[in-house]
Amino acid sequence: MGYGQVEYEDQNGLREQPLGDLLKRLSQQVSTLTRQEIQLAKAELAIKGKELGRVAGFFVGAALLGLCALGAFTALLILALDEAIPAWAAALLVTAVMAAVAGFLALIGKRRLEEAEPPVPTQTIESTKEDVQWAKTQLQSGRR
């Protein structure tokens, strides 16, 4: 084996290749792998984004209808309490109760949001880690 050549055996039939050729090939493969990982990340984020968009649409529709129902329910409560106490006191009482419930729900929502999984391309990250480990293994076996 001459200077600048590495003995290398694998499924591709590489036996004795000049080191420069191996480095060029490695560079091309790393470049291709990087592009593929970026494409995978884009695809994964696009899928997650579409799912989040659909979910958000349902929540917006539910929120609008819920707001209308809340307005009607508020009027009902004030009119019902108006029989027992003055209208201004009934409106104040209903407002205070609804504000307390809204605060409670906001705290629950905040806690759940903190516990939620971030929209990160986990599959791409794991794949990239595996690729880095594979490259390290290939470099170490090439040095032997």
- Collect all residues with Cβ–Cβ distance below 8 Å to 11 and sequence separation of at least 6: none
Per the CB < 8 A criterion, the answer to whether 34 and 40 are in contact is no
Question: In sequence order, what E strands does the chain have?
Answer: 5-7, 16-18
User: Pick from 34, 2, 36: which is nearest to 18 by CA?
Assistant: 2
pLDDT at 10: 54
Give tens-digit pLDDT for 57-97.
Answer: 899 999 999 999 999 999 999 999 998 999 999 999 999 99
Give the pLDDT band of residue 15 (cuts 50, 70, 90): low
Residue 93 structure tokens:
């009482």
Kindly list the distances between the CA atom of residue 70 and the CA atoms of 3, 73, 94, 97, in Å, as whole numbers in the listed order: 82, 5, 11, 13
Give the pLDDT band of residue 100 (cuts 50, 70, 90): very high
- How far is the C-alpha of 70 from the C-alpha of 25, rounded, in Å? 66
Give tens-digit pLDDT for 28-66.
Answer: 888 888 888 888 888 888 888 888 888 888 999 999 999
